[in-house]
Chains A and B, each alone.
Chain A
Amino acid sequence: MKARHRRFIWIVAGLGALGIAAALVLNAFQSNLVFFYTPTQIANGEAPKSRNFRLGGLVEDKSVKRIPDGLGVTFIVTDKEKSIPVRYSGILPDLFKEGRGVVAQGHLGEDGGFVATEVLAKHDENYMPPEAAEALRKAGHPVGAPSQFQQVQK
């Protein structure tokens, strides 16, 4: 009887601890999911107004403009259907280039533009971030995955 009691207490304590852990995990999970939207979705008003999200697409050619003084920079992200202006203050990653794919995290500004708090530099062998490729695919302009060998320049 005593052994059974003890085992019962053990199981209850274990389940309680697991329950707390699960609640903790799921709560943190809920509040930290970052959703992804394409320029077209944002233009259609699907993106949330008060929550952070990720934007992916191509940096439009000749759209990168530097704000005099400081590190401010503006550029336009497009999925070749719709475009959205982006503001960012900070150092852009090496993989950021006009005409290339980009992923930015941030929120919508008062003026309807995107205020990026982070421009992502993944240590990724491909030039095209998956979110950016996804945005182009959804807008009907898929980019073919470059085969390993077409890339040889010489």
Chain B
Amino acid sequence: MIPEIGQIALILALTSALALGILPMVGAARNDAMLMRQSRPAAFAQFLFVALAFGCLGASFVANDFSVVNVASNSNSELPLHYRIAATWGSHEGSILLWTLVMSGWTGAVALKSRTLPRALAARALGVMGLINAGLLLFVLFTSNPFLRLLPAAADGRDLNPLLQDPGMVFHPPILYTGYVGFSVAFAFAVAALLEGRLDAAWARWSRPWTTAAWCFLTCGICLGSFWAYYVLGWGGWWFWDPVENASFMPWLTGTALIHSLAVTEKRGTFKSWTVLLAIMTFSLSLLGTFLVRSGVITSVHAFATDPARGVFILAFLALVIGSSLTIFMWRAPRIGLGASFDAVSRESMLLANNVLLVVAMAAVLLGTLYPLVLDVMDAGKISVGPPYFNAVFYPLLAPALFLIGVAPLARWQKSPIPELATRLTWAAAVAVVASIAVPLAIGDWTLLKTTGFLLSFWIIAAVITAVWMRLSAAPQKSIAGKLRANPASWYGMHLAHLGIAAFVFGVTMVKSYEIEKDVRLSFGQTIDAGPYRVEFKGVADEVGPNYDGVAGAFAVTRDGKPVATMQPEKRLYRATQQTMTEAAIDHGLTRDIYVSLGNMIDDKTWEVRVHIKPFVNWIWLGCLIMAIGGGFAIADRRYRLRKSRATETIAGGYAPIP
């Protein structure tokens, strides 16, 4: 009964999405207030119905209803409750349903917050979101129905993929999707503003908090995914340039460009066409990511070719979204206008350079991700593009962008005289250069790559301190608290996010330069030295989990004879899937992680053992977290709420619909 209710809810959700996609759009074109007013109730109805459908699927998982194909394929009666809930989005069907749920959630949020916007703009933006969600709901209903029944019902389920039975996997997909899909708001506002023919500072101001919010979620989502890979895959890597990862990284790169470009559009009225293009590009890349991950094209081009319904649907949808939005862009572009001009050395020019670098980096990732697929589809041979390519491209492309992070916040808008800029940054440059040579020397060795990494990281930190110091000392207030209060939250957010990047770069440089990896054969009682640590293999003991059997190793870690940690890496065999899993043991620390995992058993008393020391590896994820918190500060800025009503008044006054 419950799956059927879910099915009906999905159909009702599709009807609401279609109503949302058509009525307000027609209303806005005809200037019909009654039709435009339908957008909010339709958006709320859509959210309710999708949430109901999602709840029905979740209930089927919780109740172990193995007469539903999706449940039988992805769950098991022995699976603990929290993983049964997470299994709701562990499969293809469930994750697409989660996609539409998140999409409906964003639409509902926009509907709630759009009361202060001009009516036609809000109606059109909501309409665009409704059309996107209608497309996705059609996809769910026709190619990926999660409620299909299995007759006769299975006695027990096939179990959730053991790799996904992890707390990280419970949170990673929803957060990642919230980020991915959140860019649809920026996209919808861009398309709506194009249709209105009015791209101005107010439009940029409305888009900014939504875009930043999506960016924060995407940052956290990618960060969680990377952290999950680090401790679940059992061999200590944290980024593999895998197509699945690239799929989430590409919208992040253009999304980062977009939030900077939106800032210029809001403050200076320039970059308007570019901002619109970035908004279209970012959301299109989110859809492309969904296609790559969800069509099965990465796993096997040939499996994709024999069952192409899903892939072809998403590809056609992608073509439709990109094609129609670019057509609208070309049609309206001549109206956009150029905005204020700026000098070759100015904050605008630096942000433009940063944007170009980010987009070129995205294009390089796109090439490395799609080229093997294209060759494979044409049956022209099977190739792979490995991490060396991405590293070779990324370091030189992003190094100048990182350098600019230090300069741009201190540069003036429109025209920034170089001597003045140089004077402002002398101190920061000197500190960064000295520190970046001193740190590798103090640790022991010196190479160009290490020094470059440290240089960029210290440069950003020193430049941020300079910028904050200059601004605070120039503030007229007497007390420090007063000086601090004189600056908006978004200004702190920007500097915090930049410090996050510095922490990230520092962590990556440290790990890449000084990690110690020992893969050895070890018997009970033997020890292995890794850096300053001595690791002793005490033995193994059997253990029984809810849906797996396994062994847990015992390792004692000491440093100069003093105990540091006891570690218990596991090897599990999941009963339903007969799949083996490595559970690494990690002793986390601010300055280093000790990472121990078990390989294969060689004989009764001997195992393959992996011992890694990873200096400052947590700074990588900490840096991402700081970036996201910085984004949070930017969204919290009071002026988005204060000026919103004022801006609406002035614009509504001078508003004339385009015939």
Closest to A130 in B: B300
**B360, B520, B576, B581: most-surrounded residue (chain A CB, <10 A):** B360
Contact B242 A133 (CB under 8 A): no
Whole-angstrom CA separation of A17 from B360 in the bound complex = 10
B contact residues around A25 at 8 Å (CB): 360, 363-364, 367, 393
Determine the chain B residues whose CB is within 8 A of the CB of A34 once the complex forms.
383-386
Q: Are A32 and B519 in contact (CB under 8 A)?
A: no
Assuming the contacts A21-B397, A126-B299, asked whether A152 and B72 have C-beta atoms less than 8 A apart, the reply is yes
Cα A149 to Cα B153 with chains together (Å): 11
Chain B residues with Cβ below 8 Å from A134 are 302, 382
- Which secondary structure dominates where chain A touches chain B? mixed
Question: Are the C-beta atoms of A28 and B392 separated by less than 8 Å?
Answer: yes
- Binary contact readout A1-39 vs B (1 if CB under 8 angstroms, 0 otherwise): 001001001100010011001001100110111111000
Q: Is the pair A32, B389 in contact by a Cβ cutoff of 8 Å?
A: yes
Q: Which residues between 111 and 141 of chain A lie within 8 Å of chain B, taking CB atoms?
A: 121-126, 130-131, 133-134, 137
Evaluate contact between A91 and B69: CB separation under 8 angstroms: no
Closest chain B residue to A147, Cβ basis: B73
Task: Answer whether A29 and B389 are a contact pair too, CB < 8 Å, given A91-B600, A130-B299, A133-B302.
Answer: yes
Q: Is B418 an interface residue (CB 8 A)?
A: no
Partner of B385, one of A14, A29, A124: A29
* CB–CB A149/B599 < 8 A: no
B161 located at the interface, meaning its Cβ lies under 8 Å from any Cβ of chain A in the complex: yes
CB contacts (< 8 Å) of B233 on chain A: these are: 121, 123
Report B450-474 CB contacts with A as 1/0, cut-off 8 Å: 0000000000000000000000000
Complex Cα gap A105–B385 (Å) = 12
Assembled-state Cα–Cα distance A105/B384 (Å) = 10
- Is B356 an interface residue when CB atoms closer than 8 A count as contact? yes
Main secondary structure of the interface of B (DSSP, over half): mixed
Interchain nearest-CB distance for A88 vs B (Å): 11
Which chain A residues lie closer than 8 Å to B532 at the CB level? none
- Specify which of A66, A124, A126 is in contact with B602 (CB 8 Å cutoff): A66
Q: Which of B306, B386, B519 contacts A90 (CB 8 A)?
A: B519
A24-59 Cβ-contact flags toward B at 8 Å (1 or 0): 110011011111100000000000000000100000
> Does B486 interact with chain A (Cβ within 8 Å)?
no
Within 8 A of A (CB), among B629-653: none
In the bound complex, CA of A60 to CA of B396 (Å): 43
Q: Does B63 reach chain A (CB closer than 8 Å)?
A: no
Q: Tell me how far the C-beta of A64 lies from the nearest C-beta in chain B, rounded to whole angstroms.
A: 10
Known A71-B608, A152-B72; judge A18-B386 contact (CB<8 A): no
CB neighbours (8 Å) of A148 from chain B are 69, 73, 158
Across the interface, do A149 and B72 meet the contact criterion of CB distance under 8 Å? yes
Contact of A35 with B356 at beta-carbon distance under 8 Å, contacts A24-B393, A91-B600, A149-B150 already known: no
Distance in angstroms from A20 CB to nearest chain B CB is 9
Question: Which residues on the B side are within 8 Å of A14 (C-beta)?
Answer: 356
Q: Give every chain A residue within 8 A of B163 (Cβ-Cβ).
A: 123, 125
Measured CB to CB, the nearest residue on chain A to B73 is A148
A123 adjacent to B393 (CB under 8 Å): no
- Residue B301, interface by CB 8 Å: yes
Interface size on B, as a range, is 35 or more
B154 at the A/B interface (Cβ < 8 Å)? yes
Interface residues of B in 152-194 (CB under 8 A from A): 154-158, 161, 163
Cβ–Cβ < 8 Å partners of B527 in chain A: none
- Cross-interface CB contact of B69 among A54, A95, A133, A149, cutoff 8 Å: A149
Measured in the bound complex, the distance between the Cα atoms of B389 and A34 in whole Å is 10
Report yes or no: A152 in contact with B608, Cβ–Cβ below 8 A: no
- Other-chain residue from A3, A17, A32, A131 in contact with B382 (beta carbon distance below 8 A): A131
Q: Tell me the bound Cα distance from A124 to B51 in angstroms.
A: 29
Q: Which residue of A lies closest to B388 (CB)?
A: A32
Is A21 a contact partner of B158 (Cβ separation < 8 A)?
A: no
Q: Which A residues are CB-close (under 8 A) to B381?
A: 35-36
- Would A91 and B383 count as touching, CB distance under 8 A? no
Q: Given the complex of chains A and B, what is the CA–CA distance between A6 and B346 in angstroms?
A: 14
Indicate if the CB atoms of A149 and B73 lie closer than 8 Å: yes
B580 on the interface (CB 8 Å rule)?
A: yes
Alpha-carbon gap, A15 to B389, bound state (A): 23
**A133 close to B580 (CB less than 8 A):** no
Partner among A10, A29, A36, A71 whose Cβ is within 8 Å of the Cβ of B520: A71
Q: Report 23 cross-chain contacts, Cβ distance below 8 Å, ordered by A residue.
A: A3-B341, A14-B356, A21-B360, A24-B396, A25-B393, A29-B367, A29-B368, A31-B392, A32-B385, A32-B389, A33-B385, A33-B389, A91-B599, A92-B600, A130-B301, A130-B382, A134-B382, A137-B302, A145-B300, A148-B69, A149-B72, A149-B73, A153-B158
Binding site for A on B (CB under 8 A): 69, 72-73, 150, 154-158, 161, 163, 229, 233-235, 242, 244, 299-303, 306, 341, 344, 353, 356, 360, 363-364, 367-368, 371, 381-386, 388-389, 392-393, 396-397, 519-521, 576-582, 599-600, 602, 608, 610
